Amino acid sequence: MTAKRIDVPTSQSVVRALRVGDEVELYGTIVTARDAAHKLMVESWPEIVAPALRDGAIYHCGPVMKKTAQGYEVVAAGPTTSIREEPYETAVMERYGVRLVIGKGGMGPATLAACHNLGAVYVHAVGGAAVALAACIKKVEAVHFLEELGVPEAFWVLHVEALRGVVTMDAAGHSLHEEVYRTSKVERDRLLGV
């Protein structure tokens, strides 16, 4: 299957055309945000991250960074478990206009509803491929709240090329994660004779 190229920032129409199972390659600007960053966003709504997130991508990632004479180099950038951001994600998507949420493991019903209502998707990145994913990051454009949050929790604004993933929650309201859970439960019950 050929991956669909998505230039970030993107449009609602581009995102609404994506479906669960579509492979995508992202080109452009993405912003990392883990637990502390999400909490900070919903508590104080920092405007400094707004331009990079508008019609953009938020990546659940705590990158490993190397300080160089030129700035920072990304050593590893694997996805972190996304469900921890479930209490915050809908509000973040609404406030900042996020179109793509990238992470691993999927998210819950509130984020799925936000994807449907706002025109967004969840992109599953491959866990365990942190170094390969870092190779797709061509430039660190900026970092926000580094001193306050530390390296893994800061907002890293990154320029990516051919960052691959699979759409597992789409704007039509479909969730591969929910489907797997449902079919697994049916099979479990069958095996247990329930």
Q: What is the DSSP string of 124-159?
A: EPPTT-HHHHHTTEEEEEEEESHHHH-TTTSEEEEE
**Residue 60 catalytic?**
no
Place of tokens 């921890």: 84
Cα distance between residue 27 and residue 144, in whole Å: 21
The pLDDT of residue 1 is: 65
Considering the candidates 38, 144, 174, 177, report the single residue annotated as catalytic. 38
- Which tokens belong to 23? 């492979």
Is the pLDDT at 21 greater than 90? The verdict is yes
Let me know: does 34 contact 152? Beta carbons within 8 Å: yes
pTM (two decimals): 0.92
Is the pLDDT at 5 greater than 90? The verdict is yes
Is the pLDDT at 128 greater than 90? The verdict is no
Per-residue pLDDT of 54-94, as tens digits, reads 999 999 999 999 999 988 999 999 999 999 999 999 999 99
The DSSP code for 81 is B
Cα distance between residue 56 and residue 97, in whole Å: 7
State what percent of residues in the chain have pLDDT above 70: 99
Angle at 153 between CA 151 and CA 157, to 5 degrees: 80
The pLDDT of residue 184 is: 84
Cα distance between residue 185 and residue 183, in whole Å: 5
Question: Span 168-186, mean pLDDT?
Answer: 89
The pLDDT of residue 187 is: 83
Domains of the chain: 4-192 (3.20.130.10)
In Å, how far are 30, 106, 161, 193 from 5, measured between CA atoms?
15, 21, 10, 46
Question: Span 35-53, mean pLDDT?
Answer: 97
The residues near 1 (Cβ < 8 Å, ≥ 6 apart) are 23
3-state helix, strand, coil in the chain (%, to 5): 40, 35, 30
